[in-house]
Amino acid sequence: MMAGLITNGYLLVPKRIAALNDAGLDFLQISIDNVEPDAISKKSLRVLDRKLQDLRAQAAFDVNINSVVGGGIRNPEDARTINTRARALGFSTSIGIIHDGSGRLKPLGPTERAVYDEVSAAINGPWQVLKNLYSGIRGFQDHLADGQPNVWRCRAGARYLYVCEDGLVHYCSQQRGSPGVPLQSYSVEDIRREFLTPKPCAPYCTVGCVHRVSTMDFWRRPQDRSASRASSEEPTLDC
């Protein structure tokens, strides 16, 4: 299993980075929404750049910087700037597509799509492939960029465990309360149940972490519903 941390980066002082090294953290991701803070988001490159430099100097774990386009992002060109800066610091990079404020996924506009395509090409460039082995799994995003659904089985709660600050397991950051079980008591039975549970939010899901860890099931375990029912007696628990 891989232990990852999703953070806004605000508390990443050198002492805490050293503690994360000692704890054996494998992977850390920061999503940066803009270059300058605005009324929508304070997770800006200007605020976090000092933290990124500390990570470059001290982190023993992999660091991914995620830029975003889509609903609510005022300046989509910022994703290009953020991605370029992250690559210059030696981090792996990704680009995410987000819903608007009402939770709806909209196709990317012309400017957003141009930035998305440019950043995607940089992520998949010949010098970035090894650095982006994990974040480079992003075929699911092409449908989302066009406002189209994906056909897949979300394995949240099984291959992917999202643990909140209260120690509860949820499907992801957007589906808190499901199942909402303490990690201490999360069992094989819980994993089996959630492995086979269809998630109604899956077709338009934009949460890259869950998509990436579920990708293996396109060849290891059935991804269509009829095949999943046929194999439901003994799901393989390759978490």
**Peptide bond preceding 14 in cis form (omega within 30 of 0):** no
- pLDDT at position 102, please? 60
Its pTM stands at: 0.81
Going from the C-alpha of 133 to that of each of 10, 43, 91, 129, the distances in angstroms are 26, 25, 12, 6
Distance (Å, whole) CA 127 – CA 149: 31
Going from the C-alpha of 5 to that of each of 49, 161, 220, 226, the distances in angstroms are 18, 11, 26, 35
Range 4-145 has CATH code 3.30.750: yes
* pLDDT digits 0-9 by tens, 58-74: 999 999 999 999 876 88
Distance (Å, whole) CA 148 – CA 117: 17
Q: What is the mean pLDDT of residues 42-47?
A: 92
**Which pair of structure tokens corresponds to residue 224?**
């269509």
**Which pair of structure tokens corresponds to residue 149?**
């659904």
Q: Are 54 and 13 in contact (CB under 8 A)?
A: yes
Residue ranges, comma separated, of all CATH 3.30.750 domains in the chain are: 4-145
* pLDDT digits 0-9 by tens, 78-127: 999 999 999 999 999 999 888 766 667 888 999 999 999 999 888 876 65
